[in-house]
Chain A
């Protein structure tokens, strides 16, 4: 796995010009837009870098050779998840630092805990995003993967919209009051509890996705 990790890092370093453009545009945009934007932007770029490495692996029919090295399909999938995790946390950390510098330069008043809380909330969100993206990319490749992702997004949004409508129509007035009471109670929970719950859910999804990806890679032929 160390060899694969080294390969992915070296390939990313080769694209340093692209990184400079990303960072410069993020810093410029952070002054123009909401200050939390820079954290979400950095985290998104960092966590999705793994997809670039999957594309590079498949360029020039590289996969047969990579799979002849002392790694299994399972190790390959695990390395991609580990790499995405490293990318996510490094980019998130950079985003947070840039965010704070921007606020200091703009001389705005801020509450450190509140700000950090907002920034941390991006982590589970992007964990779930990469948990969906990696298996799709491994199974269908970069081009087909985009189409599959669009279909999945459409299905999820459509199901959620229809599900909510049907559910609300079926609910009696008394049930509706109870539901509103439950939701109100949920929103009154301490922020840290909600955040911890989000992290737990995100990591559970992350590990399930890693397991699914290992299965995909073990069955794949080259």
Chain B
């Protein structure tokens, strides 16, 4: 669905240099701090910026030369951009009807009703949660093969985030070939939805791993300085200085559980991984 090879994009104070792939039928997450390069990557995938180097293939085409047909197969939700705030859902339906040949009006209207989105109110009077739900609904209502979602859950409370993620799960259930690339800085959203995750930092991919592997094999060791000096460090990916000693990230949790039964080994989760990998010394 998406294949990025050595994508390069240089700005005055930021450079992006990544490779990434989203196979058919998978949900891939892009996680990183604000300003890490997630939105730049998504803009390049959508053909909104011109890469300085490398190649991007989305649904078999170069995004800078997308045809209308190519774009019809894409469902897009951007965190900071959408339909004019002057429009209402009723009016947006008229636009979508003329924009996407496969726009499923019935589904869209049903979902709007289910999510409690008012039909006649202008978008400027919508809450943050309503706007976010509408953006995702627009993306999933025209039988797109690939969804590209930039921070779709940003600014939402836990309940609204779960409702939005459920909408995405329902979209995936319709067809095994459908794929999603979703960026977020909220790790729990990605853990529950994605098949694999790319961690991006300062324009580089720091880690790419299956979510199951992260949750199953990765762990956090919490050890004092003396113990740290004694243990086998070959399976430690990163470490962070703490008041008690070190927090260490490993991708071989079982090795330390088997060989060092006295060490505290916590299960891996994205938040801890980010803390250690991005904030570690």
Contacts and interface: CB of A to CB of B under 8 A. Distances in A.
A59 B86 CA distance: 10
Contact of A68 (B71, B80, B94): B71
B123 to A, nearest CB: 9
A64 B68 contact: no
Interface string A1-38: 01101110011001000000000000000000000000
Contacts of A221: 48-50
Interface in B60-88: 66-69, 71-72, 74, 76, 78, 80-87
B46 interface: yes
B100 interface: yes
A69 B99 contact: yes
Contacts of A158: none
A69 B46 CA distance: 10
A88 B91 CA distance: 24
Interface residues of A, number: 26
Interface string A55-88: 0110111111101111110010000000000000
B85 A60 contact: yes
A181 interface: no
B95 interface: yes
B96 interface: yes
A70 B99 contact: yes
B138 to A, nearest CB: 9
Given A60-B85, A61-B80, A6 B66 contact: no
Contacts of A11: 84, 86-87
B69 A70 contact: yes
Contacts of A57: 84
B95 A68 contact: no
A60 B81 contact: yes
Contacts of B82: 60, 62, 65
Interface in A40-60: 56-57, 59-60
B234 to A, nearest CB: 45
Contact of B84 (A59, A68, A69, A70): A59
Interface in A150-176: none
A64 B42 CA distance: 11
B87 A62 contact: no
Contact of A3 (B66, B74, B76, B95): B95
A222 interface: yes
Contacts of A59: 84-85
Contacts of B100: 3, 70
B48 A7 contact: no
Interface in B78-123: 78, 80-87, 91, 94-96, 98-100
Contacts of B76: 65, 68
B202 interface: no
Nearest to A59: B84
Contacts of B3: none
Nearest to A57: B84
A64 B78 contact: yes
A131 to B, nearest CB: 25
Interface in B197-236: none
Contacts of A62: 81-84
A67 B48 contact: yes
Given A10-B91, A14-B86, A63 B81 contact: yes
Interface in B20-77: 43, 46-50, 66-69, 71-72, 74, 76
A56 B71 contact: no
A65 B98 contact: no
Contacts of B80: 61, 64
Contact of B94 (A10, A72, A75): A10
A6 B81 contact: no
Given A65-B78, A68-B71, A69-B71, A60 B99 contact: no
18 contacts: A2-B98, A3-B98, A10-B91, A10-B95, A11-B86, A56-B84, A57-B84, A60-B82, A61-B80, A62-B84, A64-B48, A65-B83, A68-B148, A69-B71, A69-B99, A71-B99, A221-B49, A222-B43
Top 10 closest pairs, chain A to chain B, by CB: A3-B99, A70-B71, A2-B98, A65-B81, A68-B76, A70-B68, A64-B81, A3-B98, A222-B48, A221-B49
Interface of B: 43, 46-50, 66-69, 71-72, 74, 76, 78, 80-87, 91, 94-96, 98-100, 148
Interface of A: 2-3, 5-7, 10-11, 14, 56-57, 59-65, 67-72, 75, 221-222
